[in-house]
Structure 1
């Protein structure tokens, strides 16, 4: 017992739906890594990315679970609720991505040279990774904002969308770095500036919120977020028009995919990925702007 008469360990962190979700995350994450290390295997950049996702999420989830059980998160200078739901949202997106990437590059209908046993292990990896993504999504569902309940900004729809926007921007950056030829035209370079600027400000908003320092700012944080979201909509709208024109118009680019373009190293494919996810992020920012009109911010300092 602590001096205030409470328990040192937080039983609710284990004996609750949220605790059950986190334990499922740990079990499935450990199982996925073990299967890959034992027999399924991974190679190249895509395999390394998947393994990084599984190891990173397992490590952070273990730390979160331990701090919650021991109540030591109260000693950390962050807004714990904002941090945990932001991380759960990020982990959900990362696991979904890994659950798609791994079978696409490592799971084939026919048995590989290593034998059918390897294929069976890779099927098990894909299943465990997919189920684990639902476990993280369950945590987001359990801790999200509900009517009549005061929560942190990251638990609101607008806060969760910020995490998704930053993640989509990372996908755009990956496509840009994969020989997208964005430096051939000044307008496409402008689009890169738009992606970078919006990503940077979104990360700052998430960081300030998770740190619990919104009340120490010298300007209204809620007004800043709404104004920034509106400007981001305008910037992404311009990029959503400019990028396709200077990538796929006959005058500046190639309308169709070239026949001699190798898979995974084709600039046209990278341009298409950037165009698609630019419109996805535009839709997310518009949705964010709509939801930001319906929430009220509660600033708190840890």
Structure 2
């Protein structure tokens, strides 16, 4: 079977240019951070988890976007047994959200250091440019017709990406809070929060894999009921984590940024699950009336 490549006009298309921008800026970002010496990075060892998290984001999306770029270039995606339109939208939106997190967390790490090197500042700027590229790609894909952008480009799909972002964002926060429980707080609430968000992250991953893998027709339950059940579980677990987070804030003797961040992320994730659950119930009601 002959390999088909893009035509000349496709090299100046917005999607091609934006993905090239994403690959280059993410590569520059993690290269600059990796070039920093261990001595420079050891000034705040308690924040190593966040630095590793940021590096993972830049490296992961560099790899995934490069693969998508290459497959799109040779027009090989029609031979891959996945929903390509749902995959590209998911990567773009999740890349924008997690790149935004890295663009906030990494400058926050720099604020905890006495001396900031120019390379670290350049990495922070490059990370912000990476977020901008993914945000623009998400916007371009969202302007396409519903048939072209797939389910993950709809409001319900975007909410599921937001839920996945919340689960990913909670990983470094919970790890830091469990390894260094703030003074005046007991560790068991953080274990409950970790378990709640761990289950929510697993549910979000399963949902996205089912949609991107085009397995919706193979579920043992109707897909709309499958989504409604997962959304309800997510609402209950995130509500528990949010209540624990606000309780921890009230019990703190001194302000703790990590506890506040954990509560904010839990609240945003709860909002995403609640709205998604409302969409799922409306869909079930509409189908029952047909």
**Superposition RMSD in Å:** 3.3
Contact 2:54–2:102 (CA under 8 A) maintained in structure 1: yes
In structure 1, the partner of 2:81 is: 77
In structure 1, the partner of 2:196 is: 194
SS in 1 for 2:59: helix
In structure 2, the partner of 1:9 is: 5
**Deviation at residue 177 of structure 1 after TM alignment:** 2.0
Distance 1:133 1:59 in 2: 15
Q: Any gaps of 5 or more consecutive residues in structure 1?
A: 113-117, 259-267, 297-302
SS in 1 for 2:253: coil
1:257 aligns with 2:263: no
In structure 2, the partner of 1:28 is: 25
The Cα offsets for residues 199-228 of structure 1, whole Å up to 9 and x where unpaired, read as: 211111011111111112232112221232
1:233 aligns with 2:235: yes
In structure 1, the partner of 2:155 is: 157
Distance 2:123 2:188 in 1: 44
TM-score under structure 2 normalisation?
0.78
Matches within 5 A, 1:81-120: 81-106=85-110, 112=116, 118-119=117-118
C-alpha distance 184-135 of structure 1, shift in aligned 2 (>3 A): same
Alignment counterpart, residue 131 of structure 2, candidates 122, 125, 133: 133
SS in 2 for 1:224: helix
SS in 2 for 1:208: helix
Contact 1:208–1:214 (CA under 8 A) maintained in structure 2: yes
Alignment counterpart, residue 204 of structure 1, candidates 177, 188, 206: 206
Contact 2:151–2:157 (CA under 8 A) maintained in structure 1: yes
In structure 1, the partner of 2:45 is: none
Alignment counterpart, residue 143 of structure 1, candidates 141, 144, 153: 141
**Deviation at residue 136 of structure 1 after TM alignment:** 0.7
SS in 2 for 1:178: helix
1:284 aligns with 2:277: no
Contact 1:13–1:68 (CA under 8 A) maintained in structure 2: no
Which stretch shifts more, 94-103 or 171-180?
171-180
**Deviation at residue 68 of structure 1 after TM alignment:** 0.6
**Deviation at residue 232 of structure 1 after TM alignment:** 2.3
1:43 aligns with 2:41: yes
Distance 1:34 1:281 in 2: 31
Q: Any gaps of 5 or more consecutive residues in structure 2?
A: 43-47, 285-290
**Deviation at residue 99 of structure 1 after TM alignment:** 1.6
Larger Rg: 1
